Amino acid sequence: MLAVLALLLAADTVKYVPRHEELKYTFGGHPPVLHLKPGTRLVSWTEDCFDGAVTKPGQLPTKVVPSGHDNPQTGPFYVDGAEPGDTLAIHIEKLSPARPQGLSSFFPGFGALNGTDRTAVLGPDLPETVWFYDVDEKAGVLRTRSADRRATWEVPLRPFLGCLGVAPGNGEARSTIVPDSFGGNMDCPEVRAGNTVYLGVRVPGGLFSFGDGHFGMGDGEIIGTAVEGAMNVQLTVDLIKHRETPWPRIENDEFIMSVGAARPLEDARRGSPSRTWCSRSGSAPVCPRWTRTNSSRRPRWRRSSRSSIPCTRCWYRSRKSGSRTPDVAERMNTTPPRWILGVDAAFQGLCIDGLPRRPSPRRPRCAANRARARAILRA
């Protein structure tokens, strides 16, 4: 009897580790690598955002990563029975570093602190720099040192997937460096173990894929990257029939979250509250003037207008103090900031709006307890 039960359980688990030549660099435009039945547990692996090309100090991504090989994806996977108008529910069960080191990089023309072809900054671009982080899974931290070897610091080990998405509709193939309604390069810390991500199906089978493993990050890729690394991935995919999901949603035991991706950041912020599944928990909608900051394990609620792009204020404060260096930028990038709202500043604004599943004493109400709300803001 136990042997039969073990056989049935094994039949619902699929292991897939891609060869390098099987990795993909777009969402859409590729045939599926596997068919999965709804309810299947997938045990897999994904490469880092640099295509595995940066392996030792002194290597610069702009010199060693092939053009167009950013954020390689594992997949796509065809979910049997999935049709446009349905929703994939992807339960992320376990994420762990696949290598003992992660890395973060700062290079010209990328991130919020350098100028781009769309925006300019007052100072010149900072030089391309790479930091290697040692992974200490037992202590739950990542450790590195400054380029001049004089300073060291550590940040929390909090793995999540920077990329998770389905194939876009209308025959599109989209780059793995952009987020949109199909998911994609959301770079959202909430795409982590213990959470469920809902993605609307655009094409038969859904054709979902994932990649861009992050070992740690604040609430945005301020310098253009997080602490990047190859990732071991375990997830279960389910299918919700006849339930359309226009934009990605994320759920756990405490929060229901919706994702907005747009330029400018204000448009992403305006769109995300209206997409929250308010009816599932029975809670009242969150006032758009308030938002949850994902900067710690205990969520804090802050006024949205004050949480737009705090990294910029902190950055210019560092400039005035004469400490404008790549190391300062990297420490800001990997340390969860207090006021940031989830900014993927390299390409588009990315807003994560959270709705508690049940009332919390830490959550200010829109029409009551204003004095208490002001006290929270002063904390």
pLDDT per position as a tens digit, 5-48: 454 455 589 999 999 999 999 999 999 999 999 999 999 999 99
Q: Which stretch of 58-72, 176-190, 227-241, 363-377 has the lowest confidence by average pLDDT?
A: 363-377
Please give the helix or strand (H or E) that residue 215 lies within, else none: strand 208-216
Closest of 117, 22, 126, 115 to residue 77, by C-alpha: 22
Asked if 200 and 22 count as a contact pair (C-beta separation under 8 A), the reply is no
Which of the pair, 18 or 283, is modelled with greater confidence? Answer: 18
pLDDT at 194: 95
pLDDT at 2: 52
- Could you tell me how many helices (H) and strands (E) the chain has, helices first? 6, 24
Half-sphere exposure of 137 (CA within 13 A, CB side): 9
pLDDT at 34: 97
Residues whose CB falls within 8 Å of the CB of residue 298, separated by 6 or more in sequence, listed in order:
362
CATH of domain 14-378: 2.60.120.580
Asked if 168 and 27 count as a contact pair (C-beta separation under 8 A), the reply is yes
Q: How far is it, in rounded angstroms, from Cα 321 to Cα 50?
A: 33
pLDDT at 326: 63
Average pLDDT, stretch 110-127? 80
pLDDT at 58: 87
pLDDT per position as a tens digit, 308-338: 322 222 222 333 334 445 666 666 566 543 3
Closest of 278, 257, 239 to residue 84, by C-alpha: 239
The β-bridge relationship of strands 101-106 and 152-156 is unpaired
Average pLDDT, stretch 263-272? 71
Q: How far is it, in rounded angstroms, from Cα 49 to Cα 70?
A: 5
pLDDT score of 79 more than 90: yes
Q: How far is it, in rounded angstroms, from Cα 168 to Cα 204?
A: 11
pLDDT at 333: 61
Average pLDDT, stretch 97-109? 90
pLDDT at 323: 45
Q: How far is it, in rounded angstroms, from Cα 239 to Cα 79?
A: 8
Query: For the whole model, what pTM was predicted?
Result: 0.75
pLDDT per position as a tens digit, 126-166: 888 999 999 999 999 999 998 888 899 999 999 999 999 99
In whole numbers, what is the pLDDT of the chain averaged over residues?
A: 76
Q: What is the dihedral of CA 315, 320, 125, 72, to 10 degrees?
A: -20
φ and ψ of 99, to 5 deg: -135, 155
Q: How far is it, in rounded angstroms, from Cα 154 to Cα 96?
A: 18
Q: How confident is the model at residue 69 (pLDDT cuts 50, 70, 90)?
A: very high
